[in-house]
Amino acid sequence: MQKRRWVGIMLLLVVPGLLLTVSCAQRAAKPMTESEVETMAVKVAEKAQQEEVAKRRVIEEKRIRETRVRQERAKAAAVERARRTARSSFLNQDIRFNFDSAVLLPMAEDLLRKKAEWMRSNPGVTATVEGHCDERGTNQYNLALGDRRAASAKTYLINLGIDASRLNAISYGEEQPVDRGHDEASWAKNRRAHFAIK
């Protein structure tokens, strides 16, 4: 009796499943109409086109980002080069003086205006103006002349609006020549005010 009951339960479970499987198989086997095929083809083509457009958009956005990054890097590099060039000019362009003189020449004034502009752009910088002379004259005289040259350049910068607390002046007289020659060309290079920064 239990065996019959068990077989009955199994049949109740298996038969509906078989019927469902057969009906699903029959539905899948039903051929599509021509309009359904065309609709399906259009949908597949549209999806492929959308995927292609999306792919192109991703590629274009990546290209734009890479171009922007390259431009920003180039701009930053140009700014850094300009900053280094300006700093180098400030440090390496000396103010020249005539023999036995601390009077600023017009060319020296132009150069000092550029140095003042650089100092305004770099407000944290403190500069030392070094006065130098050629080898002619006594050590004491040249130290005093170097003082006057450094003071002349410093005063000009202060008159251009640079705070005096940002400027120091010192004289090296003839002790630190840039050219060790003993002729007018060498002496002209050594009569100068040089700038150092802290």
pLDDT digit string (tens) for 24-77? Answer: 555 555 788 888 878 888 888 888 888 888 899 999 999 999 999 999 999 999
Residue 142, pLDDT > 90, answer: yes
* For residues 114-135, average pLDDT: 95
pTM over 0.75: no
Residue 92, pLDDT > 70, answer: yes
Determine the Cα–Cα distance for residues 124 and 100; give it in Å rounded to an integer.
34
The mean of the pLDDT values for the chain is: 87
What pLDDT, on a 0 to 100 scale, did the predictor assign at position 29?
Answer: 59
Count of C-beta atoms within a 10 Å radius of residue 41 = 10
Q: Which amino acid is at 110?
A: D
What pLDDT, on a 0 to 100 scale, did the predictor assign at position 117?
Answer: 94
CB 135 within 8 A of CB 174: yes
User: Which run of H or of E encompasses 113?
Assistant: helix 106-121
Confidence of residue 144 (pLDDT cuts 50, 70, 90): very high
Determine the Cα–Cα distance for residues 127 and 129; give it in Å rounded to an integer.
6
